């Protein structure tokens, strides 16, 4: 049994070296070859001076080198930081600075985008460049070496000693203050998550799992860990159109597919072959609309549907077994194996059946908190309501901030989020991060980004602004600024202009909840 994340691959290589492990386009690699490449990448990072527990950021689209770099960092005794390839340079630079990244793995094209912001990343001392390095820019004070040269001159440094309680990864998720938060995951967290998931999905070495979600997303990363836990095959895909996914399912004989609701909505409207190979599909990142669920069950009658709920701070909390989908399509199910989910009141006592309360998750998947942020960690990671008297060391659980209820049979139902995060296209988006871009234009008086119900996105981002004194709102200029500084999933769907001041809460802050409720009321009245 593997204790460390990279050992999942090494153990499969020991007993099934020739088994296909990873596929990307026409590139295919076996477990034996993948294990060797991961060892080489880890040795190359050590040769570049990577210390124990130091961070390696990977800013690439999904490709073989991305996976090799992730697991290579872990094998070296470092910590990998997958950066969403959709993020803009300012956002990437914030992450690199925030967790003191020492080595960056990226491509020449992406390095050009980052050239002006990397000098701000004072801890970064080496860049491993995937692909052609001929036109790569020179970055003052930072060593740039090609991926192939680094692996060739890898040296013979011994990997740093690691145990399962050590850091393995930092995944960044948007925070309510406008800056992303780094969720720290241990080897134990990641291996336990994979072990739990393969139990209820019943994964085997014969599975072929399609990876379409970003690897910076815990749900996306788990497609790899799930496959490698059982020696299955992971197929990497950067799709352009939903139709491309169906073609890949056919061509690669995919048996498992994970997606978020907006993608499932698109896939449900397409024609699928009657005899496709899908054994199961999974949904997380938001509730799947009932109409979409019904369509998928009709067009994929022989495919099991798993509805799930999770949060990055604990990866996965619940799943609904396929046999319960018809009777309880609105439920998020019960706790996954080796986890306990509680519904608690504000005083920490357990709620009665049917009583709304906060979802609290305890168990091996509870992460190590937020990187370098004691205050936010203390807010979210708190002692579990104990059922075991006599314990003197408190057990920490994740207090999700989400409101749920549990029925008399123990099935959970999601009610809502307590914070002001916008959930769109499977992403959690900070309103403040959008507002900062708008304020930076100096074209508005006040600004608030809120979420409004949307049949495809889950929530659409609505930007509400007031004009500066003596001026008018230039919506085209505001949208242009957003496109320059924000990834596509964070762009406002519309801009609403208001006169006067935006409403305030008792603390004097702009009351986004009030604005969101106004939009909700408008949506209910108009159905738009």
**Structure confidence by residue, pLDDT tens digits, 497-510:** 998 888 886 556 78
Rounded distance, CA 382 to CA 398, Å? 7
pLDDT (average), residues 1-11: 95
Rounded distance, CA 275 to CA 87, Å? 38
- Least trusted range by pLDDT, from 111-115, 438-442, 517-521: 517-521
In terms of pLDDT, which residue wins out, 436 or 50? Answer: 50
Rounded distance, CA 19 to CA 13, Å? 8
Angstrom CA distances, 356 to 340, 350, 399, 405, 407, stand at 17, 10, 14, 5, 10
Class of domain 335-418: mainly beta
CA-based nearest residue to 35, from 77, 78, 3, 6? 6
CA-based nearest residue to 406, from 349, 363, 336, 356? 356
Rounded distance, CA 433 to CA 514, Å? 19
pLDDT (average), residues 354-373: 96
- Least trusted range by pLDDT, from 32-36, 72-76, 466-470: 466-470
Other C-beta atoms closer than 10 Å to the C-beta of 54 total 22
- Is the pLDDT score of 3 beyond 80? yes
Residue 259 contacts residue 265 (beta carbons within 8 Å): no
- Is the pLDDT score of 334 beyond 70? yes
**pLDDT tens, position by position, 188-243:** 999 999 999 999 999 999 999 999 999 999 999 999 999 999 999 999 999 889 99
pLDDT value for 178: 62
**Cα separation of the two ends of the chain:** 53
- Give the rounded distance of the alpha carbon of 201 from its chain centre: 20
pLDDT band at 285 (very low <50, low <70, confident <90, very high): confident
pLDDT band at 524 (very low <50, low <70, confident <90, very high): low
Please provide the CATH number assigned to the domain covering 422-526. 3.30.300.30
Residue 170 contacts residue 74 (beta carbons within 8 Å): no
Percent share of the chain, pLDDT over 90 = 74
pLDDT band at 176 (very low <50, low <70, confident <90, very high): very low
| CA dihedral of residues 22, 27, 33, 38 (deg, nearest 10) | -70
DSSP 8-class letter at 454: E
pLDDT value for 446: 87
pLDDT value for 162: 97
- What's the mean per-residue pLDDT of the chain? 92
pLDDT value for 431: 85
> What own/partner pairs with CB < 8 Å and gap ≥ 24 does 349-355 have?
349/385, 350/385, 351/405, 351/406, 353/406, 353/407, 353/408, 354/405, 354/406, 354/407, 354/408, 355/405
pLDDT value for 390: 75
- Is the pLDDT score of 289 beyond 90? no
Angstrom CA distances, 15 to 205, 230, 289, stand at 12, 12, 43
Q: Three-state secondary structure along 424-473?
A: ECCEEECHHHHHHHHHHCCCEEEEEEEEEEECCCEEEEEEEEEECCCCCC
Residue 266 contacts residue 288 (beta carbons within 8 Å): no
Burial-class residue 376 by CB neighbours within 10 Å (0-12, 13-18, 19+). middle
pLDDT (average), residues 354-372: 96
pLDDT value for 494: 93
Pairing of strands 304-309, 280-283: parallel
DSSP H or E stretch at residue 423? strand 422-424
At residue 165, what are phi and psi to the nearest 5 degrees?
-85, -5
Rounded distance, CA 2 to CA 18, Å? 20
pLDDT (average), residues 33-45: 97
pLDDT value for 486: 95
Domains 7-186 and 422-526 share a fold: no
- Is the pLDDT score of 394 beyond 90? no
pLDDT value for 231: 98
DSSP 8-class letter at 57: E
pLDDT (average), residues 138-161: 88
pLDDT value for 507: 54
Rounded distance, CA 491 to CA 486, Å? 7
- Is the pLDDT score of 439 beyond 90? no
Residue 320 contacts residue 281 (beta carbons within 8 Å): no
pLDDT (average), residues 372-377: 95
Rounded distance, CA 524 to CA 528, Å? 8
User: Domain ranges in the chain?
Assistant: 7-186, 335-418, 422-526
Task: For residue 374, give every residue at least 6 positions away whose Cβ sits within 8 Å of its Cβ, in sequence order, or none.
Answer: none
CA-based nearest residue to 233, from 199, 265, 207? 207
In terms of pLDDT, which residue wins out, 415 or 464? Answer: 464
At residue 291, what are phi and psi to the nearest 5 degrees?
-60, -40
Please provide the CATH number assigned to the domain covering 7-186. 3.40.50.980
CA-based nearest residue to 487, from 64, 162, 89? 89
pLDDT value for 528: 55
Rounded distance, CA 250 to CA 236, Å? 14
At residue 64, what are phi and psi to the nearest 5 degrees?
-60, -45
Task: For residue 186, give every residue at least 6 positions away whose Cβ sits within 8 Å of its Cβ, in sequence order, or none.
Answer: 164, 165, 166, 167, 168, 367, 368
Q: Which of 128-142, 281-295, 325-339 has the highest mean pLDDT?
A: 325-339
Rounded distance, CA 114 to CA 213, Å? 23
CA-based nearest residue to 229, from 505, 394, 5, 480? 5
């Amino acid at each position: 049994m593997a204790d460390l994340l990279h050992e999942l691959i090494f153990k499969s290589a020991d007993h099934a070296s020739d088994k296909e492990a990873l596929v990307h386009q026409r590139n295919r690699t076996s477990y034996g070859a993948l294990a060797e490449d991961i060892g080489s990448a880890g040795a190359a990072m050590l040769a570049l001076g990577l210390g124990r527990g130091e961070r390696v950021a990977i800013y690439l689209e999904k490709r073989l080198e991305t996976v090799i770099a992730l697991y290579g960092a872990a094998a070296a005794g470092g910590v990998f930081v997958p950066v969403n390839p959709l993020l803009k340079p300012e956002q990437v630079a914030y992450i690199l600075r925030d967790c003191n990244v020492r080595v960056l793995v990226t491509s020449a094209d992406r390095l050009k985008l980052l050239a002006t912001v990397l000098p701000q990343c004072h801890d970064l001392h080496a860049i491993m460049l995937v692909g052609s390095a001929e036109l790569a820019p020179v970055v003052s004070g930072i060593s740039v070496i090609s991926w192939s040269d680094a692996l060739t001159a890898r040296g013979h440094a011994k990997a740093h000693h690691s145990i399962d309680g050590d850091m393995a990864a930092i995944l960044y998720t948007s925070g309510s203050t406008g800056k992303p938060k780094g969720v720290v995951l241990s080897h134990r967290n990641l291996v336990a998550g994979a072990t739990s998931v393969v139990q209820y999905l019943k994964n085997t070495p014969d599975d072929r799992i399609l990876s379409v979600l970003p690897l910076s997303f815990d749900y996306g990363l788990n497609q790899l860990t799930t496959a490698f836990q059982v020696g299955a095959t992971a197929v990497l895909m950067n799709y352009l159109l939903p139709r491309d996914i169906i073609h890949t399912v056919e061509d690669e004989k995919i048996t498992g597919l994970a997606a978020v609701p907006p993608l499932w909505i698109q896939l449900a409207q397409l024609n699928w072959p009657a005899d496709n190979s899908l054994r199961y599909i999974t949904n997380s990142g938001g509730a799947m609309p009932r109409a979409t669920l019904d369509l998928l069950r009709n067009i994929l009658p022989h495919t099991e549907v798993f509805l799930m709920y999770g949060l990055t701070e604990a990866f996965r909390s619940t799943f609904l077994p396929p046999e319960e989908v018809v009777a309880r399509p609105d439920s998020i199910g019960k706790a996954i194996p080796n986890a306990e989910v509680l519904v608690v009141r504000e005083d920490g006592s357990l709620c009665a059946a049917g009583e709304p309360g906060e979802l609290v998750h305890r168990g091996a998947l509870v992460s190590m908190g937020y990187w370098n942020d004691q205050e936010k960690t203390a807010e979210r990671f708190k002692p579990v309501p104990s059922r075991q008297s006599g314990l003197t060391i408190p057990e920490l659980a994740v207090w999700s901030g989400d409101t749920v209820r549990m029925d008399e049979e123990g099935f959970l139902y999601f009610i809502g989020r307590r914070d002001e995060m916008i959930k769109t296209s499977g992403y959690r988006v900070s309103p403040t991060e959008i507002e900062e871009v708008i304020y930076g234009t100096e074209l508005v008086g006040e600004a608030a980004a809120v979420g409004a119900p949307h049949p495809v996105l889950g929530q659409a981002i609505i930007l509400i602004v007031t004009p500066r004194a003596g001026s008018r709102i230039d919506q085209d200029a505001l949208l242009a600024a957003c496109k320059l500084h924000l990834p596509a999933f964070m762009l406002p769907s519309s801009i609403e202009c208001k006169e006067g001041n935006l409403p305030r809460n008792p603390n004097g802050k702009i009351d986004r909840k009030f604005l969101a409720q106004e939009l909700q009321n408008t949506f209910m009245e108009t159905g738009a």
